[in-house]
Amino acid sequence: MDLHTAFLRARRGIREDANLYVVASSSLVVAFLCLGSAVLAMTNLSAVSERWSRSGRMTIYLRDGVSDADAQRLRETLAGLPEVESAVALSAADARAQFARDADLGGELAGLSADAFPASVELSLRLGTSAERTNEIASRVVRVSGVEGVETYRAFFERLESLVAAGQTGAAVAALLVLVCVLAVVGNTIRLAVAGRRDEIEVLKLCGATDGYVRGPFLVEGGLQGVLAAFVALALLGAAFFALRGPLDGTVAALTGVRAAFLSPSAALGIVLGGGVAGVLASAFSLRRYLAI
């Protein structure tokens, strides 16, 4: 049987069992929403992790009262180290202005005093600088007079990495659960459809339909269910994501250094096509079990 005929007959089948398919697809949409959310969270956590792993940053906070000249001398000294790509001295006012700009909070910070943020020297380390060498520089710098403390972001990065790893496991579990859900929902839907179309199937067989001709529309129906449910779930997730991103994006970007992003087209396509494949497989399993021809 050609695909066109299978689609035509599947369309007729879906039309006849419309209520059944709406209910089943709704369950699948919820399942795909869970999967999409997990993948979305994973994607953004990975981006943050990637951003921080590449950054090689170090912030040296200066004590109150350290003069700009002392800060500049410290900056020049550190800039001379071979591992340092760039060094920037920020006064308390500069730090406050930078935060206000990154966080889109200019208006809210108007009442804050100029020395609310400490003066600092921001170092960018060269790519490939080891954690040991970073710690060694930090331990030497922290002994310099006028230095309040040194932030290497290593601890944060390690926590982020373990969070990403947990997110990946969570996404994998979600994918597995969704697969099970698709198999169960599509499988049962097809089983009910087969039961409801016993007469039709018998007529087809008596008229000389091959097994493939009989099975074709059911496989198409299973695949369409998976594809449509995944597509609707991603559309809902996308709508929610873009609705929330507007007010929160600046803050998130300031805190993490990364702007929140929706699923890439390839990831979205993968989920939709994966839904279709899972639907076809579920239908095939169900037919093998319940359609004796």
Enumerate binding residues for other proteins (CB under 8 A).
Answer: 1-2, 5, 16, 199-200, 202-211, 213
Q: Which of 170, 193, 168 is nearest to 282 (CA)?
A: 193
Nearer to other proteins, 106 or 212 (CB): 212
Residue owning tokens 């500049």: 72
Nearer to other proteins, 73 or 198 (CB): 198
Nearer to other proteins, 173 or 293 (CB): 293
Cα–Cα dist 5/210, whole Å = 13
In which element (H, E) is residue 90 found? strand 84-90
Least Cβ distance, residue 1 to other proteins (angstroms): 7
β-strand partners of 91: none
Cα–Cα dist 74/20, whole Å = 72
**Under DSSP, is residue 126 helix (H, G, I), strand (E, B) or coil?**
coil
Q: What is the CA radius of gyration of the chain?
A: 29
Nearer to other proteins, 16 or 161 (CB): 16
For the stretch 39-57, what's the b/e string if a residue is b when 16 or more beta carbons lie within 10 angstroms of its beta carbon? bbbbbbbebbbeebeeebb
Least Cβ distance, residue 8 to other proteins (angstroms): 9
Nearer to other proteins, 4 or 54 (CB): 4
Residue owning tokens 């398919």: 21
Cα–Cα dist 229/226, whole Å = 5
Least Cβ distance, residue 221 to other proteins (angstroms): 17
Least Cβ distance, residue 227 to other proteins (angstroms): 25
Nearer to other proteins, 8 or 255 (CB): 8
Least Cβ distance, residue 42 to other proteins (angstroms): 46
Alpha helices (H) along the chain: 3-16, 18-55, 68-79, 92-102, 131-141, 154-196, 198-206, 211-256, 265-290
Least Cβ distance, residue 181 to other proteins (angstroms): 31
